[in-house]
Amino acid sequence: MKKLLAAVSVSVLAMTAAANAQVTEEMLANDRTDTSNVVTNGMGRDLQRYSPLETLNKDNVKNLVPAWAFSMGGEKQRGQETQPLVYDGIMYVTGSYSRLYAIDVATGKEIWQYDARLPEGILPCCDVINRGAAIYGDKIFFGTLDARIVALDLKTGDVVWRDKIADYKAGYSYTAAPLIVNGLVVTGNSGGEFGIVGEVQARNADTGEVVWTRPMIEGHMGTLNGKESTMTGTLNATWPGDLWKTGGGATWLGGSYDIETDTLVFGAGNPAPWNSWLRNAGEPTDGNKGDNLYAASRVGIDPHTGDIKWHFQTTPREGWDYDGVNEVVAYTDRSGNKRFATADRNGFFYVLNREDGAFVSAKPFVKDISWAEGIDETGRPIYVEGNRPGNPANATDGGKGEVVFASPSFLGGKNWMPMAFSQHTGNFYVPSNEWGMDIWNEPVTYKKGAAYLGSGFTIKPNYEDHIGSLKAIDPDTGEWVWEYKNEAPLWGGVMTTAGGLVFFGTPEGEFIALDDATGEKLWSFQTGSGIVGQPITWEMEGEQYVSVVSGWGGAVPLWGGEVAKKVNYLNQGGMVWTFKLPKQMAAN
């Protein structure tokens, strides 16, 4: 009887410990080496998307089989661009229309679901997607399309707190996964097509109270503990007149954190409006006077105060909507140098110094860049000014300026879809697209909540046989190791493993594993809808699992012009697919 009571007591204690389990800062810092959980977006706050698991490898990946599938339901499914999180036996997945699901990771059975109550009149730019959540303590955090941040109880899905990031009626929204650093929930914002101002905000994870804010456009004031702190940049140093007040620079993709330099790194998107002639008072670039900082830039931020530590602008005086938000991945190169890498929408793959964001190198990662001849030794583009959209002020009828063909298209050599770094090979695996556009500038004036582009465009494929192109890139040289071509555009994330595998999905619905050294296809599975999500892997009870969310949508069918016509037959429908390598097949 005593043994039975002791067993019951131990069981109760174990259940209590599990119920009280909390995600700590240490767990977040070690996420990329913890193979039993995935508690950060990017499988580590450096965003390498690399797993040290090697049970699943080149020899046995052919034995990977479905374990379960979960339907995200709903009659109006749109793009599912999320990355699942796994913690304490539960998978957490965000969905379109600002939904969040908790799923039993062993069975695929739903535990709870949260649906945000979205108001009428939300203004999402590029589909009603959500790219993921963040876990800290006993709470899970995610953003909503009406520009709010919500904290839910991990076990029940009940709302603990919620707060407003910005005014959705002015065009703000929020779709990125939050970032947790030292007990702060760090968020960006979306809405660059509406003349908003990009900003990074940090809140106390327990209370939701704002600790600091950092705008991304010069002239705007940051705050610290409820009081003004420092101005971003210098007023009117690189912006004419009052255009900085509606200057864009949305931080819509979220950020990364480099623990070794204690630096947050966020990308700031396109300056507003797209019409670069208006933002530079119609004059050619004069030094850096028309650069429009800090739009189209990567910005290093002090996580404690929100002060800017450094910046690097990829496309000064940006005029093609090449943005600047692409993720910045911290890594160490083969010579032991601490580096950042980022593949910009403008078509160039950049390497920066991790200590201060200084320029190291830049090489093309797409084939037909037309807007610039290259990047000079300081990191500035060598523009082909004839491939800048014409000034509408020169139009004789007061209409649009000269139409030019520019490559890549405004959807970018690489858009939001995250690349991966492999510690196994030392290479990056970059999902890219080979397309261009006809683009022209138009007159435009700012109106709250209205599109603020000043440009028109039509996207076109550059090649008949493919648009999508997954490339293995050596960051030390910028050279392409191999290329895997896909007929439709690639719009989902990439993951690498110590088992020598590269996982990604296609709009045609295939979930694929490639050999990281050669690009050879080793395994694939048809999910039934286009994949624009981000894969993860973990182990449970000695078996390796891989998950990805399938569900076609995103910006391509909405903005893709001639390209959209090529993929409008693809089916929507959100599913979480989870695969495993059975123990008995691991050695085969």
Pairing of strands 495-497, 50-51: parallel
| Nearest residue to 298 via CA among 348, 231, 336 | 348
Q: CB 175: neighbour CB atoms within 10 A?
A: 30
Average pLDDT of the chain to the nearest whole number = 93
The yes-or-no verdict on residue 379 having pLDDT over 70 is yes
The yes-or-no verdict on residue 295 having pLDDT over 50 is yes
Where is pLDDT greater, at 580 or 16? 580
Q: Is residue 62 part of a domain?
A: yes
Per-residue buried b or exposed e for 456-467, using 16+ beta carbons within 10 Å of the residue's own CB: ebbbbbbeeebb
d(CA 180, CA 152): 15
| Nearest residue to 110 via CA among 77, 144, 160, 73 | 73
Q: Is residue 3 part of a domain?
A: no
Q: Is residue 54 part of a domain?
A: yes
Least confident of 19-28, 95-104, 270-279, 456-465: 19-28
* 122-142 average pLDDT score: 95
d(CA 100, CA 114): 5
pLDDT in tens, 29-81: 999 999 999 999 999 999 999 999 999 999 999 999 999 999 998 766 789 99
CATH code (residue 197): 2.140.10.10
pLDDT in tens, 402-451: 999 999 999 999 999 999 999 999 999 999 999 999 999 999 999 999 99
The yes-or-no verdict on residue 116 having pLDDT over 90 is yes
Map tokens 């509606």 to a residue: 246
Say which of 34, 321, 323, 344 is annotated catalytic: 321
Feature table: binding site for Ca(2+):
193, 270, 321
pLDDT in tens, 253-286: 999 999 999 999 999 999 999 999 988 854 555 5
* 296-309 average pLDDT score: 98
Name the helix (H) or strand (E) containing 438: strand 435-441
Feature table: binding site for pyrroloquinoline quinone:
81, 131, 175, 415-416
Map tokens 């007023």 to a residue: 235
d(CA 187, CA 163): 12
Is the peptide bond prior to 322 cis by the omega test (within 30 degrees of 0)?
Answer: no
Task: Note whether 525 and 580 are within 8 A (CB).
Answer: no
Q: Judge whether 321 counts as a catalytic residue.
A: yes
SS3 of residue 91 by DSSP? strand
**8-state DSSP, 386:** G
Q: Is residue 481 part of a domain?
A: yes
Q: Is residue 205 part of a domain?
A: yes
Range of the domain at 29: 24-585
pLDDT of residue 451: 93
pLDDT of residue 74: 75
pLDDT in tens, 449-471: 999 999 999 999 999 999 999 99
d(CA 113, CA 110): 8
pLDDT of residue 557: 87
Q: Is residue 48 part of a domain?
A: yes
> H helices within 256-382, ranges in order?
276-279
* 22-32 average pLDDT score: 97
Name the helix (H) or strand (E) containing 231: strand 227-231
Q: Is residue 418 part of a domain?
A: yes
pLDDT of residue 208: 98
pLDDT of residue 281: 52
Least confident of 1-5, 172-176, 212-216, 562-566: 1-5
Least confident of 67-76, 159-168, 479-488: 67-76
pLDDT of residue 3: 37
Feature table: binding site:
81, 131, 175, 193, 270, 321, 415-416
pLDDT of residue 13: 33
Q: Is residue 4 part of a domain?
A: no
Question: What's 486-518 look like in SS3?
Answer: ECCCCCCCCEEECCCEEEEECCCCEEEEEECCC
pLDDT of residue 20: 54
Those residues with Cβ within 8 angstroms of residue 564's Cβ, 6 or more apart along the chain or in another chain: 459, 556, 557, 558
- Looking at the structure of the chain, the number of domains it has is 1
With bands split at pLDDT 50, 70 and 90, how would you rate the model's confidence at 7? very low
Where is pLDDT greater, at 246 or 124? 246
